Structure formats: structure tokens, C-alpha cells
């Protein structure tokens, strides 16, 4: 049971990380695309109305590209958490809710993933001038009359959204494995999820 579950989780986690760690992994997927920060969505709306839609679009693209580059860190962190899984953990996942494995990985990996993603995101944002775009956008916006000035930690925001998207994709992989065990190639995996 434990062996089959670990195998299933390894497959699902690797698939999720691989899907996101490629061009348009985030940006081309509406379910996980990182949007303009919702806390300051009025900035986006106002700038588009002033003819700066291209700058807003480019800014969103750079955030997503940063997340795509950082996703390379996910697979080994997931693999480590899966290796350390106990028999009790495995039993709880198999008898738990349909997203029990995803919740397990969130609990075990979020802190490490945040630490691992942050420098990648920061570097990618700096390399693609997203930080500069953000300073330009917010600097311009903050000069407008009758508005409340905004200030967002771009790296923190992008990292948080990147992890939200990552676990959403992991959850979909878990559902796929649970619902279609016969699609998987190994007998152990089929037996674990095929026994309802």
C-alpha cells in the first residue's frame, strides 16, 4: 500500500512540476495564470483606461515566467516528502478525502517550496524587468490625484500565487490517478487505487 501510494504521488507530483516548468506553464493555463495583484486591481483598470494596457500585459507575463522558472524546484522537494511518508500517513491518505495526498504535500512542503521558489522568482523578476515595470506602474499610479498609494511585495505575491497554482495542478493529478487507476502502468499502483 505504502509503496504504491508513494509511486502514485511521485508520478503525479513530477507531472505537475513538469507541466508548470515550461514556457506558458502558468501564463498559458487560465486555471493557474498569475493575475495582476487583486489587492491593487484598480491600478490595472486605471492604467488600461489610460492606454497602458500593453505595459500591464507585459507585467503579468513576467510574473508568470518567473513562476515557470521557479517550478523546477518542486519535484525534488515533493520527492523528499514522499520518501519520508510513514505507513500511517499512507493509510490516512488512502482512506481520506479525494485531495488527501495534495493536502499532505501542502502541509509537508509549503515552507520548503516558499524558500526554494523565492530566490528563483526574485531573480527571474529582476532579469525580466518586472520589478522595474512594477515600480514604473505604481510610481505612475501613485502620482494620480485622489488615489490611495499602493505598494506590493512583488516577489512574495508571485511566489504565493505560484504555489497556489502548483498545488492546484497537483490536485488535478491526484484526481486523475484516483479516478483512473487502470491507466497507470504498474500493478502496484493499479491495485492501490483500483481497490475501492
Mean pLDDT by 10 residues, the chain (196 residues): 82 93 96 84 82 85 93 94 92 89 96 96 81 76 80 84 96 86 58 56
Q: What is the DSSP letter of 96?
A: S
Q: Which three cell numbers stand for residue 46?
A: 486605471
Q: How far apart are CA 195 and CA 193, in angstroms?
A: 6
Q: How far apart are CA 131 and CA 123, in angstroms?
A: 10
Give, in order, the Cα–Cα distances in Å from 175 to each of 8, 93, 97, 119.
11, 13, 11, 31
Residue 136's domain comprises 2-194
**Exposure string over 165-182, b if 16+ CB within 10 A, otherwise e:** bbbebbbbbbeebbeebe
Q: What pLDDT score was predicted for residue 196?
A: 45
Q: What is the pTM of this model?
A: 0.82
Q: Report the candidate in 119, 146, 115, 134 with the shortest Cα–Cα distance to residue 39.
A: 134
Residue 162: CB atoms within 10 A of its CB come to: 28
Q: What pLDDT score was predicted for residue 188?
A: 56
- Give me the number of domains the chain comprises: 1
Burial of 130 (C-beta count, 10 Å sphere; 0-12/13-18/19+): buried
Radius of gyration of the chain measured on its C-alpha atoms: 20
Q: What pLDDT score was predicted for residue 178?
A: 80
Amino acid at each position: 500500500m505504502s509503496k504504491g501510494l508513494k509511486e502514485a504521488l511521485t508520478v503525479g507530483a513530477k507531472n505537475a512540476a513538469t507541466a508548470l516548468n515550461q514556457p506558458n506553464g502558468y501564463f498559458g493555463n487560465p486555471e493557474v495564470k498569475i493575475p495582476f495583484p487583486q489587492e491593487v486591481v484598480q491600478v490595472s483598470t486605471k492604467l488600461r483606461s489610460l492606454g497602458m494596457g500593453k505595459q500591464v500585459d507585459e507585467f503579468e507575463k513576467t510574473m508568470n515566467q518567473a513562476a515557470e522558472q521557479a517550478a523546477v524546484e518542486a519535484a525534488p522537494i515533493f520527492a523528499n516528502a514522499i520518501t519520508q511518508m510513514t505507513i500511517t500517513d499512507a493509510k490516512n491518505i488512502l482512506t481520506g478525502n479525494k485531495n488527501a495526498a495534495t493536502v499532505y504535500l501542502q502541509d509537508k512542503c509549503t515552507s520548503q517550496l516558499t524558500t526554494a521558489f523565492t530566490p528563483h522568482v526574485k531573480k527571474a523578476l529582476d532579469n525580466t524587468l518586472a520589478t522595474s515595470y512594477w515600480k514604473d506602474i505604481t510610481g505612475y499610479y501613485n502620482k494620480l490625484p485622489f488615489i490611495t498609494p499602493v505598494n506590493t511585495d512583488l516577489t512574495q505575491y508571485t511566489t504565493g500565487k505560484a504555489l497556489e497554482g502548483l498545488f492546484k495542478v497537483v490536485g488535478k493529478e491526484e484526481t486523475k490517478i484516483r479516478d483512473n487507476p487502470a491507466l497507470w502502468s504498474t500493478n502496484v499502483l493499479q491495485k492501490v487505487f483500483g481497490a475501492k
